[in-house]
Amino acid sequence: MATLLLHGELDHPATLSVRDLRAWPQHRAEVTFDCATNGPQHRVFEGALLRDVIAGAGPVFDARRRKDRSRYLLAVSGDDGHHTVLSWAELDDDFCGSPVLLATRLDGAYLDGPGSQLVVPSDRCGARYVSAVTHVWFGTLTVPALVGV
């Protein structure tokens, strides 16, 4: 059974299966996106909102402070080596509120075997759709100090 590691700046990091992800409310997204290799794709995904999964893991930011929340990033990796990055502000209802999913079903088929898929319904291209998610990292990026400036 495929699992994903939820880790980073979280009070409750976890290893989650697709079945575990079905414990969150499931949302439906009918999407069309352009795939560079296969052209336009029309799909129906169902799954947990990524923001709900992260919220359940206890992000370490101060939830009362928008500027604190806006510093956080998510890096998502798939078993084929594909990676993408999202900002927490894209998901947070006080900012963009995008309904990004960790899909548990694709076109009616359960994804227990291959693993969850990251779905970004607002994207016109499929580059941030990550199949068979293995890792979701949550945290802040330390900006390098400028030397000599």
Q: How many domains does the chain have?
A: 1
- Is 18 a domain residue? yes
Residue 117 domain flag: yes
Helix, strand, coil share of the chain (percent; to 5):
15, 45, 45
Q: Which pLDDT belongs to residue 84?
A: 97
Average pLDDT over residues 41-60: 96
Query: For residue 145, is it within any domain?
Result: no
Residue 9's domain spans which residues?
Answer: 3-139
Q: Which pLDDT tens digit goes with each residue over 15-44?
A: 999 999 999 999 999 999 887 788 888 999
Among 50, 15, 26, 33, residue whose Cα is nearest residue 110: 26
Residues 61-117 have pLDDT tens digits of 887 888 888 899 999 999 999 999 999 999 999 899 999 999 999 999 999 999 999
Query: Alpha-carbon distance 90 to 70, whole Å?
Result: 9
CA neighbours closer than 13 Å in the CB half-sphere of residue 13: 11
- Per-residue pLDDT band for 149 (boundaries 50, 70, 90) equals low
Q: Which two tokens stand for residue 115?
A: 């693993």
Quote the pLDDT of residue 141.
81
pLDDT at position 70:
87
The CATH number of whichever domain residue 107 belongs to comes to 3.90.420.10
Whether the predicted model's global pTM rises above the 0.85 cut: yes
Query: Could you give the residue ranges of the DSSP H alpha helices within the chain?
Result: 18-21, 50-56, 66-69, 88-91
What pLDDT, on the 0 to 100 scale, is given for residue 142?
78
